[in-house]
Structure 1
Amino acid sequence: MSVTVIGIGADGWEGLPPASRHEIESCEVLMGSTRQLDLVPAAGPDRPVERVAWPSPLVPALPGLLERHEGRRVAVLASGDPMCHGIGSTLVRLLGAARVRVVPHPSSVSLACARLGWALNDVEVVSLVGKPAALVVPHLHPGRRVLVLGGDPREVAALAPDARLTVLEQLGGPGERVHHSLDDADPLHVLAVECGADGASLTPGRPDEEFEHDGQLTKREVRAVTLALLAPRPGELLWDVGAGAGSIAVEWCRTHPSCRAVAVERNPERAARIGRNATALGVPGIEVVVGSSPDVLDLEAPDAVFIGGGLTAEGVVERCWDAVKPSGRLVANAVTLESEAVLTRWHGRLGGDLTRIEVSRATAIGGFTGWRPQMPVTTWAVTKENA
């Protein structure tokens, strides 16, 4: 089947151009949220139109919903631009671009930039619709401008205490309002965030004290080298095996909003700690799998694998190497002689780079300062296409 998706603003029917009105008037089935459907006048008795309000949750129900109306002219209402964090993108993923026709309307993002005098190309956009507010954290940098769609303005304010926040409600409609009160924001709003001086770098190697841990933590200097070897790229998936505090998975996901990670940890207390670290550092979408490797590694094929613990367990390296995609990277760190022997053996079999990292930190010794060495770390890094 094919579907036409029509963008509609808060000004409703009156704000629609003739082409959009024609698409709505000529359909047999009109789908959308209850609020969107209420913006469209009822069809005349000579041309009945079946109106279908979205169920909740929507995405799992979409395939069956569309299948029930196979062979009919289906139109879907979407807020603003259907391809800007809207239902249009979901339908294209489901049906394919050739079966979805989109008639856009100015998005709330465009309208917000117009009201604020912000350049659209210089603004970060974060959707918190049905998502945790922590997702905004990686976008908070000194002097940056962020538009937040959905969510609770008070939760965002708590994460950005030095930012200036502006609420833009019912953009384009008769009830449009722009103000700075966070307690009575209309559900249909965009939150504009002008960041202050706070904000953390996205470069891997966050200070160790930013992570909650019990000592099982890849230290920042080694972590920075490890992430460089893992070489995260947008949209890629990482397995962090023997994740400990989850610092590698967290920093992997912070490099780009589309990066994903699965953290595998057999200790339930540490697994819970990974979730807290992920939320605190703005990447709450990390999946945490509790169990022993390789037993629990029946997961989506990764683009990269990091093995930080459990190297000596039978079958862990084999399972990770078999699972990683072609051109994927595998990086493993060892601090004991036994785990180092495993890396040496695999290096002899598959090649790659074997490196020893030794770090010393300056610390107080009485009234003076001296070097305190950390345990050396042996790192093995290999790319599947080069093995």
Structure 2
Amino acid sequence: MSALPRTPLPVTVVGIGADGWDGLAAPARKALHDAQVLIGGPRQLDLLPPACGGERVPWPSPLRPAVPGLMAAHDGRRIAVLASGDPMFYGIGRTLAETLGTDRLHVLPHPSSLAYACARLGWPLEDTTTVSLVGRPLDALTAALHHGRRVLVLSADATTPADVARLLRARGYGPTRVRVLEQLGSEHENTLDGTAAHWPHTPGAPLNLIALDCVRDPAALRLGAVPGLPDAAYEHDGQLTKRHVRAATLAALAPAPGELLWDVGGGSGSIGVEWMRTHPSCRAIAVERSPERAGRISRNAAALGVPALRVVTAAAPAGLGELPVPDAVFIGGGLTAPGLLDTCWDALPGGGRLVANTVTLESEALLADHYRRHGGDLVKLSVAHAVPVGGFTGWRQAMAVTQWSVTKPVRP
């Protein structure tokens, strides 16, 4: 008779704060006492008393690729993993859930640093924006900056507050009040206070969180929360989908959280940038054959708070073959390249959206042909701006844009 397959033991994930062992509830203490293997950062492991006699294993670096091997090496033993605060909030809990599956995890959370910060500041957590800069680019903070909003920033280390103050000054938020809350939950709590314009403090404790009361300098360019940012927000060489057409294009693309866009013929990257600004989980890949323009797309993405926008320097359709499957495709240039429209259409799954814009008769004919074949909406967008005409005012018509938008049918 063959032996029954062994059921893997659960992995207990224990959140721990700066107050260490004293701040843990009884179930968390018992889990750590009973564990045969204790895994965590050196700082967290040092918070445990000698009575926790399990083998202490510090996380290797880089951490994420090491998780499967580390779990396998201790399979069959009672494992407890230490995490800072709430393990499921920007913590190791997500990686473990994705690696082991949620059924193997038993998570015992501790109050997060955000909970402590809001308690100290009197801020309602549900009305406060959170940005993590742990392992993430500093420029990611930019998208969260709006006049009058409160933002909590998870710091990477002791140098992050000065970096944040410098970014705020560069983005026109110098008057913002900046408070650094150090070692929250411990007996060594401390707060540093100042403004981004005149940040006076040297680096302090590496364990800190930054609270921002955002104030925009009146002279700074105002960036709204919806598509259609001012054209002046972009560095460009004329290859820019203009503001009003851009807003209409994003409406047709209809981004939803977690979705991926191909921005083909990226130009200045404005469509991909504003797609990603609609939700932090939205992703975009800009495909641009010009190295100069590709560099400009990256700079625009960083300046407007979406540095994770991926730029592929290649001609389309040849450069599209190895890209992940998109949820939507925008074609802003190169429509007459042989096979481009068909390649983009074929790449889309059922329910995916395609939007293409053009100002030329030749490309318009292509869009009309695909409209006859696949349906959708074919529209002409016209925008005129009021300009001086002598001592009066008249209308100056911009080039009309033909736009085809379509959703690919879901096949049974």
* TM-score normalised per structure 2: 0.90
- Superposition pairs for residues 202-241 of structure 1, below 5 Å? 202-241=225-264
Residue in 1 that maps onto 2:105: 100
1:173-228 CA-partner distances (Å, limit 9, x unpaired) = 12111221543231100100111145521111111111001111101111010000
Contact 1:30 1:50 in 2 (8 A): yes
Q: Deviations over 1:258-313 (max 9, x none)?
A: 11101110100000000000000001010001101111112111111101011111
Cα distance in structure 2, aligned partners of 1:366 and 1:183: 58
Q: Does the CA-based 8 Å contact 1:134-1:283 persist in structure 2?
A: yes
- For structure 2, which runs of at least 5 residues remain unmatched after alignment? 1-7, 194-199
| Residue 290 of structure 2 is aligned to residue 290 of structure 1 | no
Q: CA deviation at 1:43?
A: 4.4
User: 2:264–2:332: 8 Å Cα contact kept in structure 1?
Assistant: yes
Shift in Å at residue 32 of structure 1? 0.7
Residue 75 of structure 2 is matched in structure 1 by: 70
Q: How far has the Cα of 1:321 moved from its partner? A: 1.2
RMSD: 1.5
| Cα distance between partner residues in 1 of 2:141 and 2:103 | 33
Aligned to 2:208: 189
1:142 maps to which of 120, 139, 147: 147
What residue in structure 2 maps to residue 321 of structure 1? Answer: 345
Aligned residues: 384
Q: Which amino acid aligns with 1:326?
A: G
Alignment of 1:83-98 (within 5 A): 83-98=88-103
Structure 1: which 5+ runs fail to align? none
- Displacement after TM superposition at 1:26 (Å): 0.8
In 1, distance between residues paired with 2:176 and 2:140? Answer: 16
Per-residue deviation at 1:367? Answer: 4.4
Deviation track 1:323-346 (CA, whole Å, cap 9, x = no partner) reads 222211110001111111111111
Task: Identify which of 79, 83, 87 aligns with 1:82.
Answer: 87
Which shows bigger deviation, 248-257 or 87-96? 87-96
- State the SS of the aligned residue for 2:191: strand
Identical amino acids, percent of aligned pairs: 59
Name which of 275, 295, 299 aligns with 1:252: 275
CA contact (8 A) 1:138 1:200 kept: no
CA distance in 2, matches of 1:144, 1:82: 26
Aligned position for 1:360: 384
- Where do 1:372-383 residues align within 5 Å? 372-383=396-407
For the residues of structure 1 that align with 2:370 and 2:192, how far apart are their CA atoms? 61
Residue number in structure 2 paired with 1:10: 18
| 1:67-100 deviation line (CA, Å, top 9, x unaligned) | 2222221111000111111111221122221111
Partner Cα separation in structure 1 for residue 73 and residue 317 of structure 2: 43
Stretch moving more, 315-324 or 71-80: 315-324
Distance, in Å, in 2 between the alignment partners of 1:307 and 1:52 is 51
- Where does structure 1 differ by over 6 angstroms across 4 or more consecutive aligned residues? none
Q: 1:358 & 1:294 partners in 2: Cα distance?
A: 29
What SS does the corresponding residue of 2:263 show, helix, strand or coil? strand
Alignment partners' CA distance in 1, 2:201 and 2:380: 52
2-side partners of 1:325 and 1:32: how far apart?
Answer: 41
Deviations 1:212-268 (A, max 9, x none): 011111011110100000011111111100010000000111111111101110100
Q: 1:309 aligns with which of 321, 333, 343?
A: 333
Cα drift, residue 386 of structure 1: 7.3
Query: Which AA in structure 1 matches 2:232?
Result: E
Per-residue deviation, 1:9? 0.5
* TM-score, normalised via structure 1 length: 0.96
CA distance in structure 2 between the aligned counterparts of 1:144 and 1:19, rounded to whole angstroms: 38
Q: Secondary structure of the equivalent of 2:210?
A: strand
Task: Report the residue type matching 1:193 in the other structure.
Answer: L
Match of 1:330 in 2: 354
